[in-house]
């Protein structure tokens, strides 16, 4: 197999395994969210209220996908939409009290997931991996223009 093809296959398989692992960890810790929903809520925990467009940009998802994530989280009582007073066509997504209450447990689970995924890797290996992923991302961005 070509080395470049092997990179693509391993990236895809790792992404799939990561989503399954995250889903299992969230379920085992009684956090009723999908991995994508968890990432969205984590953005709100870290950055505060955000527009749906900001969430879409941060998650690198299209606006329709983010709308579905927000709809599901709204049904679970974790987030709510607030109309932007400056632009009534846009909504700001904010955490509900339930969403804020999930933060402490959610952060512990999130860190635990990362620790388990990265076990056995040195700090230098992790930094090299991050650097490589950034380079690949930059390469793809330059091709999109």
* Residues 81-103 pLDDT 10s: 998 777 778 889 999 999 999 99
What average pLDDT does range 52-64 have in this prediction? 93
pLDDT of 102: 94
Measured distance CA(100)–CA(94) in Å, rounded: 10
3-state secondary structure of 21: helix
In this predicted structure, what is the pLDDT of residue 11?
A: 92
Count of CB atoms situated within 10 Å of the CB of 55 = 23
Give the chain's length: 145
What pLDDT, on the 0 to 100 scale, is given for residue 90? 83
Question: Would you place residue 142 in the very low, low, confident or very high pLDDT band (cuts 50, 70, 90)?
Answer: confident
Whether the pTM exceeds 0.85: the reply is: yes
- From the list 125, 65, 134, 77, the residue with the least C-alpha distance to 101 is 77
* Residue among 54, 14, 20, 12 at smallest CA distance from 36: 20
The count of other CB atoms within 10 Å of the CB of residue 95 is: 19
What DSSP assignment string belongs to 24-43?
HHHHHTT----HHHHHHHHH
What pLDDT is attached to residue 145?
66
Q: What is the pLDDT of residues 23-54, one digit of tens each?
A: 999 999 999 999 999 999 999 999 999 999 99
Q: Could you give the 3-state DSSP secondary structure of residue 77?
A: coil
- The class level of CATH for 33-101 reads mainly alpha
């Amino acid at each position: 197999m070509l080395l470049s093809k092997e990179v693509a296959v391993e990236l895809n398989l790792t992404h799939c395994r990561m989503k399954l692992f995250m889903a299992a960890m969230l379920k085992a810790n009684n956090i009723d969210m999908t991995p994508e929903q968890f990432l969205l809520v984590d953005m709100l925990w870290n950055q505060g209220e955000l527009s749906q467009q900001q969430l879409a940009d941060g998650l690198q998802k299209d606006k329709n996908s983010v709308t579905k994530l927000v709809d599901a989280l709204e049904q679970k009582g974790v987030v709510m939409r607030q109309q932007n007073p400056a632009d009534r066509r846009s909504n700001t997504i904010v955490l509900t009290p339930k969403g804020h209450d999930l933060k402490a447990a959610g952060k512990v689970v999130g860190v635990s997931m990362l620790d388990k995924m990265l076990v056995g890797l040195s700090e230098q290996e992790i930094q090299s991996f991050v650097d490589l992923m950034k380079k690949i991302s930059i390469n793809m961005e330059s091709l999109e223009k």
